Amino acid sequence: MNREELPPPTVTPGELPEAAPGLMARFRNYFLTGLIVAGPIAITFYLTWWFVNWVDGIVRPFVPVAYRAETYLPFPLPGTGLIIAVFALTLLGFLTANLVGRKLVEYGERLLGRMPVVRAIYRSLKQVFETLFSGNGNSFRRVGLVEFPSPGMWSIVLISQPPSADISTHLPGTEEHMSVFMPCAPNPTTGFFFYVPKSKVVEVEMSTEDAATLIMSCGVVQPGSDQQKKIAALAGMAQAAQVANRASLQPAKVE
C-alpha cells in the first residue's frame, strides 16, 4: 500500500491525542523530583550543623585553651563542645543521684529561693523541665481539636496537664476543664494557652510529631501521607515523559 492511499486518521470528538511532553515539562518534573529528595536532606544537615556550632560556641569559653582541639589542629573541630556538654550533663546527673549531690542541689535551690526575681523564674523553669523530661507525664502527648476562632472552624491543640484545684474552683460551670495549647502556624513555638471544657475537645489519634508537621507545613503535609510515594510518582512521570518524547521522535513505519 502506498503512502498516498492511506486513509485519513479518524479522531472521535473528546478523544484528541495528548501532545507529548516537551523539554520544559520534563525539566520541571526532574527539577521537582530532585528538590523533594535534596530539600529535606539539606535543611536537616543545616539545622544539625547550626545546633552543633551553637553548642560549641556556648561550651568553648569554659574549656581551657590547652584542652581545645584547635590548639593542636590547623582547623577547628566541630562537635567537641557538644560531646563535652553531653558528658558534663551525664556526670551532673550521676552526681545529683548521690547523697552529696542531692545536698548540694538542695543548698543551691535554697539559695535561689531567697532571691525575689530569680526565685520565680527558676521554679517555673524547673517545673517545665520536670514535666517535659520526666518520662512519666502525659503533657503534650495527646492531640485534640477545638472549635476556634469561630463556630465551624476547628484548630489543632496539644492537651496539657489538667488545671489545679485552685483554678478549677474559679472556672465557671461544673464540667471538668482541660488545659490546652494551640500552636500557631508556621511557628509552633508561639500560640495560645487556655482552659476549655472537656466536652468541647475532640481527641484525635495523632502523634504530636504529626501535629507539629501539619502545623509547620500549614496543612501541605497531611498525616499519613507517604512522601516516598510522591517521589516515586514524580520520578515515574519524568520517565514516562522521556519515553513518550523518544517515541514521538521515531519515524513512522510505512508498509
Per-residue pLDDT at 251 exceeds 60:
no
Tell me the residue type at 148. Answer: F
pLDDT digits (tens, 9 = 90+) for 148-192: 888 888 888 988 888 888 888 888 888 888 889 888 887 777 888
Per-residue pLDDT at 36 exceeds 70:
yes
- Angstrom CA distances, 59 to 55, 88, 99, stand at 6, 10, 28
Residue 206: the pLDDT is 85
Q: Grid coordinates 464540667 are at which residue?
A: 175
Q: Predicted confidence band at 9 (pLDDT cuts at 50, 70, 90)? A: low
pLDDT cut 70: percent of the chain above it: 75
For residues 105 and 111, what is the distance between their CA atoms, to the nearest angstrom?
Answer: 10
CB atoms within 10 A of CB 140: 18
Considering the entire predicted model, what is its pTM?
Answer: 0.56
For residues 162 and 149, what is the distance between their CA atoms, to the nearest angstrom?
Answer: 22
Cell readout for 215 is 502545623
43 conformational bin, left if phi > 0, alpha if psi -120 to 50, beta if neither: alpha
Residue 16: the pLDDT is 47
Q: Predicted confidence band at 49 (pLDDT cuts at 50, 70, 90)? A: very high
pLDDT digits (tens, 9 = 90+) for 110-159: 888 888 888 888 887 777 676 666 655 556 778 899 988 888 888 889 88
189-197 long-range contacts, CB within 8 A, separation 24+: 193/160, 195/163, 195/167, 195/171, 196/146, 197/173
Domains of the chain, residue spans: 23-133, 142-224
Beta strand segments in the chain, E: 142-147, 154-159, 177-183, 191-197, 202-204
Most confident of 13-17, 77-81, 96-100: 77-81
Stretch 182-204: mean pLDDT: 86
Q: Map residue 225 onto helix, strand or coil.
A: coil
